[in-house]
C-alpha cells in the first residue's frame, strides 16, 4: 500500500498518519519526493486495514499495490510513464535518448573531439568512465578525478550532460561534483549500500541490469533508490549471462517491453556490452529500439585501437553515424524520434 | 576441404577423384546437389594434401574450409548468401519472408479464413501444425493427416505454400505428400536420424534452433541435412532457455547477425514461441527484423480463445496487420522489403 | 486421475469402465502393464467426476493425481519406490547400480578385457555405444550392428547385461535383438516418436535428462514411455547446460533428491559427460552418490588415448577401481551398498 | 610474474627491485604479507625480462605465473594448499571446517542455545547475519550492531569464532570490532571497492561466489583482496543461477575440485542457499563434501518457523546432528575428518 501525500501536507499531519499506521501493527516508510511525497506501508499488507486513513488531512490518495516495488510499479499511475529532463532531453518521452561516448576516458583531446562529433549527429549526453570496474585488480582502473575533470570540460564546451559511473560512496562524492547522471554498473545492481546512497543524491541515476538479475530483482534494486527519495531512475538492459558463446552477453530484448509494462521508469538499452564486437553493435542497437527502448547508450571511440578498455566493441565515428540514422528510421516506424534534431 | 565438381563431371571422373582421396588416407563423402555437387573430405585435414587433385578432370575448384560444417559455412562463397525459391517468395533475398498461421490446425473453416486474410496482408506461406510435439503425452497431439489435408486445401485455395512439422520418418512420408516446406522443431534439432532423413527429401527444410544449442551445434545440425544432398535449409532462431522468467524463452537476437556471418543459409525468426504472450509477439518480431532476420514465422489465430494449443501467444488478425505494417517499415530502414506486395 | 485395474479385470469390464469415462466427457487411456494395468483419465480433470466408477467390477482403486505425469508420479504409491530387476541387479533398491564401459565400442578384444575387469570390481552392467549421436555429421558414428554383436559377446562371456543407445525406430529394431537395456540420449529426451516406440519395447529404458530439461519435462518424457505400457524406466541425471566453462556440463546434483521426491522411478547419474575430463569423473561420481543417486553409469577405457570418442573423459582401470571403492564407502554412510559383491 | 621477497629484505632493497621493474617498462605492485611478501609485475609480461633481477639482494625467488590472479593461483606453490588457523580450526587442512548458525541473528537467547548446541556436535565457527542483503528495500535488514554484540557474546560463552557479513566500508568498521571472519556475499563478489577494503583488514575473509561468476572471475575477485595484503581468503561455492526451477540455485559441485586445482586457497560450500528448502540441505551438503569441499557453512535455527529470514531452508537441531554425522562418514571415505572431535 502506498499513501500519496498532498503537497500541502504538514509535518504534524504526516506524524498523525504515521502513528495510525503503527497502531495498526504496520511499518510506515516516508518517501520524500520532488514530484510526489508518499508513505509506504510495510507489514502484513495482505489484510492491511488502517481505519479511516483516507479521511485523514494530508492524504491525497491510497494506492493499493501488489508489487513489492511500490514506487517503481506502473500500478496506480494510470499507465502514465515518467519522463525525466536531462539537459535538453526528455528521457522516457517519445524521443529516444541518445547517449554515447568512450568506455573509459583516456585523453582529453580525443574526448573533446568525440563529444563535438556526437553532438553534431544528435547525441544528447556524453558517457565515459573515470572509475572503471575491472575483473582483474591489475587492469587499468580509470583516470579517476582527472577523468571527471576532462568530462566536465567536454560538457562545458558542448553542452552535453555527463553520464559516468561510481562504484562506492567515496567515488560518488567526486562524481556528484562533476557529473549530470550517476551510472551504477551491472555488478553493483545489488550493492544495496550504494543503492541507498545514490537514493540520497540530487542526480538522476542510470541503473544497469545485473548479469543474472530477474526483472523482479531489477525493479527492487530501483526501489532501493526510489525509497530514499530520488525518483529519477533510468533502467538499462545490457545483456544477461547465458550459455551462448557467440557474443559477450545475451541482449534480452524481451525485457524492454516487459519492463515498460511493469514500471513507469524509462528503460534504455546498452548494445555495446552484449555485442563485445563492433559489428554486432548496430544490429543490437536496432533490435533494442525496435523492441521499444526509450534510448540507447553506445560506446564510441575515434581510434578504437587506442582505447584502454573495451577496444573491440567501440564504434568508430562513421559507424555511429549510420547507427544514428537507422535508429531514427526505426523510431519513426513506431511514431517516435531519436536523439536531438541535427 | 570441399571439392566442388563441374556440372559435366562423369561418374568415372568422380570415382577417380574419390579413389585419390582414399589413397591419401582420407574419407570422401559425395554430396549430390541440384545447385552444386561436391565431395567433402574428412580425416586429418590439417595436413591434408591430395596430390594433383585440382588438376583432375571433373574438378571445378577446391575450397579450403576451417569449419566442421563445410557445406553450411559462408567460407568459399565470396560472402554470397543463398536464396531459395518457395512459392512466389525468394527466401534469403532482400525481401523478408512472411510466414504465418495457427499453431495447430484445428478447424478447416477457420484455417481457410486465416489463410485468405494472411494472403491479403502479404503473407507468403502458411504455417500450421498437424503433428504437434507436446511435453505431456496426454495433451492434444494434432489432427495428423486430416490436418495436412486441410492445409493442402488452404494452399489450393490461396496459393500459399504450406510449412508444417514432422517428428519422425513415418510422419515425414505423409508430410511430404501434402506440404511445401518441412519444419523440424527445436526439440528435434539434434535428432540426427531425422536430420539425415529430411536430407534425402526433395522439400526445403525449416530448421529451428534447439533451446540450448550453440550456433556451432545449430550449423552442424544443418550440415547433417546438407550432407545428404538437400541444400535448401532455412535456419530459424526461436529463443533459448535461460534463467529469465518474464517470457517463455529468451529471443537471442544477436544470433541472427552472427549466423549470417557464419553461413550462407537464410536465417529467419519465430517471435511467438519466445514471447509466450500475445503482447510480446510484435516487439520481438520487430526486434528480430531490425537485427537482420530474413523473415518471420508468426502464430496467428482468428479466435485465440479457441486455439487447441498456444492460445496465449497467437496474434489476432488486427494484431498481425499492424505487425506486418511495422515490419515493412523496419525492413525499409535497411533497404529491404517484407512479404508480398499487397 | 488414474484407475488401477484388478489383475482379474476382464475385457468387457474394461470396456464398461472406458465407456463411462467417455460418457463423462473425458478421455480414457489404457495402460497395459506387467505390474499394474491402469486407465488414465484425461480431460477437464479439475472437476472430473465419473459417477460410481469406483464401484465398477474390475476397478481396484482410484488414485487422484495432481501431476500431469500420472504414472511416473510418486503420488498414490505410499512413497514406495520402484525396483527393476536387470541381470543380477535390483535397480532402485538400497544397492546402487554400477554400470560402466567405453563411450563407443571400437575393438572386441579391448571390450572383452574391459568387461572382465569391470565384472571383477563389482560392475553390474556394461555400457557401450554402437550408434553414436555426434554433433558433426562427418564424425565417427559408431560401428552399428557389428558393435552390438561385440557387446552381446561380452555379455555372453561375462554375464553383464548390455546398456546401449538407439536413436531411431530402425536402430531400435537392432538394439532390441542384442541389448538388455535401451539407452535414450539427452538430445532425444523430447523425441516423442522415439519415446512412444520404446514404450512398446519389452526392454527397460535408461532415459537421460535433456541438456536443458526441467524436471517436469523430464518426468513427462518418462510418462510417454510409461503410457505405452513399458514401466521399467530408469532416469539419469547427466548435467545441464549453463554459463559455466570449467566443465562440459553442470552436474545438477539437487535434481537427484528432488526427482526421488517426485517419482517412484529409479534415478541414477552419469558423471562422465558433465566432467568432460578424467580428473573430474570421480569427484562428480562421489557427489552424485552422496546426493542419493540409485547408481552410476561411468565411461571407462583400457587405453583412453585410443578411444574413438570422448577420450578425455574416460577413466582408466586403476581410476575406476578407486572410484568403485570410494562409492562403496559413500553408499555405506547412507546405509546402502554399491555394485555387486566382489 | 611474481617476485617473492626474503623475510630479511630491507626497504632499500625493495626500492631497488621496484626501480628495476619500472626501468624495464613494467609496473610493480608491492604485496605485503604476514606469510610471504611479494612484488607483482604487471605489463607486457609475455616478453617480460627484467635483467638480473633474480640476483638482486632481497629476492627469494621468481615465480612465472600464467594466470591473471598471480597470488591466488596454485602455480608456483608446488601444489601445496594454504591452511588458515581460525579459532581451533585449521581451514584448508584434511579436517573439514564446520560452520553453522542462523541466517540472521534475531534473538540472543536462541542464538546462545544454538551456539551451545552446535559446539556440542563439533561445529568450529558460528555464522549469523547482523546486516542482511535483501532483494526488497522494505524487508527486514538485520539487527545491525546489536546483532554483532549478540554474536560476540555467543563467542565469549562458547569459544566459537564468529563469521558475519559486511556490505560496505561503514558496516565493516563495526564488523571488524566484533567478528572473527568477514563474510562477503554473492551479490558483492564484484564490489571491487569493498574487496579492496577487506584486503586491508586484519581478519580472514569468506568470499562467496557470485550467482553468475565464472571461476576466473571468482579467483580475480579473491585476487583483489590478496593484492592488498590480506592473504587469508576462503572461497565458498553457494550455487549459481540456471534455468532450473526445482531449487533456489544450482549447486555447482564441479566448481569445488576445479577450484582446488587452480588455487591454493581453501574452498568450502554453502548447501543452504542453493537448497532453498530444508529437505535438500543435507543431500547437497553430502554432495559438496564428497566432491572435495574443505568445509561447510550451514544455516540452522532452533525454531525455523520463527526465523526472520530464510525460514524454509534452515535446518533444525535434529537435522544438523544427522548432517554432521554423515559428513564425518563421507569425509572418512576420503581419509579426511570433519569438524571438531565431540
pLDDT tens for residues B27-83? 888 887 656 688 888 765 544 567 788 888 888 888 877 888 999 999 888 889 999
CA angle D134, D140, D142 (to 5 degrees): 90
**Cβ–Cβ of A257/B283 closer than 8 Å?**
yes
Residue indicated by cell numbers 552399428: C144
C274, C284, C290: best to mutate for the D interface, most D CBs within 10 A: C290
pLDDT tens for residues D298-320? 999 877 666 666 667 778 999 99
Residue-by-residue pLDDT tens, chain A, 342 positions: 788 888 888 889 999 888 988 888 888 888 876 566 888 887 655 445 677 888 888 888 888 778 889 999 998 888 899 999 999 999 999 999 999 999 889 899 999 999 999 999 999 999 999 999 999 898 888 999 999 999 999 999 999 999 999 999 999 999 999 999 999 999 999 999 999 999 999 999 999 999 999 999 999 999 999 999 999 999 999 999 999 999 999 999 999 999 999 999 999 999 999 998 889 999 999 999 999 999 999 999 877 666 666 667 778 999 999 999 999 999 999 999 999 998
pLDDT tens for residues A219-246? 999 999 999 999 999 999 999 999 999 9
In angstroms, the CA C272 to CA C281 distance is 5
DSSP label at D314? P
- Contacts C258 to D, Cβ<8 Å: 246-247, 280
Mean pLDDT across B264-274: 97
Interface confidence (ipTM) of the complex? 0.89
Reference C40, options C87, C12, C10, C76; nearest CA is C76
In angstroms, the CA B238 to CA B256 distance is 10
- Contacts B213 to A, Cβ<8 Å: none
Classify residue C274 by burial, with Cβ atoms within 10 Å: 0-12, 13-18, 19+. Answer: buried
B-side interface with A, Cβ within 8 Å? 212, 214-216, 240, 242-247, 250-258, 261, 274-275, 279-280, 283-284, 286-292, 326, 329-330, 332-334
From D241's Cα to the closest Cα of chain B, the distance in A is 7
C297, β-bridge pairs: C99
Reference C128, options C157, C99, C86; nearest CA is C99
C-alpha of B140 from chain center: 25
Closest-approach residue (CA) in chain A for D185: A191
Residues of chain D with pLDDT under 70: 33-36, 43-49, 304-311
* Element counts in chain B: helices (H) and strands (E): 10, 15
Task: Report strand pairing: C295-299 vs B84-86.
Answer: unpaired
* CA D177 to each of CA B323, D125, D165: distance values in angstroms, whole numbers, following the listed order: 62, 17, 13
Reference A107, options A146, A162, A156; nearest CA is A146
B-side interface with D, Cβ within 8 Å? 241-243
List the end-to-end C-alpha distance of chain C, in Å, as a whole number. 45
Dihedral in degrees, nearest 10, Cα atoms B39, B42, B48, B49: -30
Reference C73, options C188, C217, C223; nearest CA is C223
Q: What is the pLDDT of residue D47?
A: 46
Residue indicated by cell numbers 497467437: B314
Among the partner residues B168, B194, B212, nearest to C241 by beta-carbon distance? B212
pLDDT tens for residues B200-246? 999 999 999 999 999 999 999 999 999 999 999 999 999 999 999 99
Reference B297, options B57, B118, B52; nearest CA is B118
pLDDT tens for residues C202-222? 999 999 999 999 999 999 999
- Contacts A280 to B, Cβ<8 Å: 254, 257-258
Classify residue D279 by burial, with Cβ atoms within 10 Å: 0-12, 13-18, 19+. Answer: middle
- Contacts C248 to D, Cβ<8 Å: none
pLDDT band at C84 (very low <50, low <70, confident <90, very high): very high
Closest-approach residue (CA) in chain A for B255: A246
Q: What is the mean pLDDT of chain B?
A: 91
Phi, psi values for residue D300, rounded to 5°:
-145, 150
SS3 C273: helix
In this structure, is the dihedral angle defined by the CA atoms of residues C2, C3, C8 and C11, taken in order, positive or negative? negative
Closest-approach residue (CA) in chain B for C67: B136
pLDDT tens for residues C242-288? 999 999 999 999 999 999 999 999 999 999 999 988 899 999 999 99
**Cβ–Cβ of A69/D136 closer than 8 Å?**
yes
pLDDT band at C140 (very low <50, low <70, confident <90, very high): confident
Percent of chain C with pLDDT over 90: 68
Closest-approach residue (CA) in chain C for A245: C243
Among the partner residues C70, C138, C194, nearest to B42 by beta-carbon distance? C138
In angstroms, the CA B65 to CA B73 distance is 8
From D269's Cα to the closest Cα of chain A, the distance in A is 21
CA angle A214, B287, A298 (to 5 degrees): 75
In angstroms, the CA B126 to CA B183 distance is 12
Neighbours of chain C (3+ CB pairs under 8 A): A, B, D
In angstroms, the CA B56 to CA B17 distance is 7
* CA D8 to each of CA B22, C81, D58, D231: distance values in angstroms, whole numbers, following the listed order: 69, 67, 7, 20
In angstroms, the CA C145 to CA C172 distance is 11
In angstroms, the CA C295 to CA C290 distance is 11
Query: With contact defined as beta carbons under 8 Å apart, do D97 and D91 qualify?
Result: yes
From C84's Cα to the closest Cα of chain B, the distance in A is 23
**Cβ–Cβ of C138/B193 closer than 8 Å?**
no
Q: How many beta-carbon pairs below 8 A join chains C and D?
A: 123
Number of C-alpha atoms within 13 angstroms, CB side, residue D150?
Answer: 26
B135, B239, B242, B243: best to mutate for the D interface, most D CBs within 10 A: B243
**What's the pTM value of the predicted model, to 2 decimals?**
0.91
Closest-approach residue (CA) in chain B for A254: B284
Q: What is the pLDDT of residue C155?
A: 98
Reference A323, options A292, A294, A288; nearest CA is A288
SS3 B242: coil
In angstroms, the CA D265 to CA D83 distance is 8
Classify residue C267 by burial, with Cβ atoms within 10 Å: 0-12, 13-18, 19+. Answer: buried
From B283's Cα to the closest Cα of chain A, the distance in A is 5
From C242's Cα to the closest Cα of chain A, the distance in A is 5
pLDDT tens for residues C120-134? 999 999 999 999 999
Q: What is the pLDDT of residue D131?
A: 94
Task: Report strand pairing: A181-184 vs A205-208.
Answer: parallel
Amino acid at each position: 500500500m502506498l499513501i500519496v501525500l498532498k503537497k500541502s501536507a504538514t509535518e504534524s499531519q504526516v506524524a498523525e498518519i504515521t502513528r495510525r499506521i503503527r497502531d495498526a501493527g504496520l511499518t510506515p516508510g516516508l518517501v520524500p519526493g520532488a514530484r510526489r511525497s508518499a508513505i509506504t506501508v510495510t507489514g502484513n499488507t495482505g489484510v492491511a486495514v488502517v481505519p479511516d486513513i483516507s479521511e485523514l488531512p494530508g492524504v491525497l490518495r491510497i494506492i493499493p499495490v501488489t508489487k513489492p516495488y511500490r514506487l517503481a510499479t506502473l500500478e496506480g499511475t494510470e499507465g502514465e510513464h515518467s519522463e525525466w529532463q536531462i539537459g535538453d532531453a526528455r528521457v522516457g518521452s517519445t524521443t529516444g535518448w541518445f547517449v554515447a561516448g568512450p568506455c573509459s576516458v583516456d585523453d582529453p583531446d580525443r574526448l573533446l573531439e568525440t563529444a563535438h562529433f556526437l553532438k553534431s549527429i544528435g547525441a544528447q549526453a556524453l558517457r565515459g568512465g573515470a572509475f572503471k570496474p575491472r575483473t582483474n585488480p591489475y587492469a587499468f582502473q580509470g583516470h579517476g578525478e582527472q577523468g571527471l575533470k576532462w568530462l566536465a570540460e567536454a560538457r562545458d564546451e558542448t553542452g552535453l550532460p555527463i553520464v559516468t559511473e561510481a562504484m562506492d560512496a567515496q567515488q560518488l562524492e567526486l562524481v556528484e561534483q562533476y557529473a549530470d547522471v550517476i551510472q551504477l554498473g551491472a555488478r553493483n545492481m545489488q550493492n544495496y549500500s550504494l543503492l541507498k546512497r545514490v537514493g540520497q543524491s540530487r542526480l538522476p541515476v542510470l541503473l544497469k541490469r545485473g548479469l543474472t538479475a530477474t526483472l523482479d530483482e531489477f525493479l527492487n534494486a530501483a526501489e532501493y533508490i526510489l525509497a530514499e527519495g530520488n525518483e529519477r531512475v533510468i533502467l538499462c538492459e545490457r545483456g544477461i549471462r547465458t550459455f551462448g558463446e557467440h557474443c559477450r552477453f545475451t541482449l534480452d530484448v524481451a525485457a524492454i517491453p516487459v519492463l515498460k509494462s511493469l514500471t513507469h521508469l524509462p528503460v534504455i538499452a546498452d548494445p555495446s556490452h552484449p555485442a563485445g564486437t563492433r559489428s554486432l553493435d548496430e544490429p543490437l542497437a536496432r533490435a533494442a529500439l525496435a523492441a521499444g527502448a526509450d534510448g540507447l547508450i553506445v560506446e564510441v571511440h575515434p581510434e578504437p585501437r587506442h582505447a584502454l578498455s573495451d577496444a573491440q566493441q567501440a564504434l568508430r565515428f562513421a559507424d555511429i553515424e549510420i547507427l544514428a540514422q537507422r535508429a531514427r528510421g526505426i523510431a519513426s516506424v513506431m511514431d517516435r524520434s531519436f536523439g536531438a534534431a541535427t
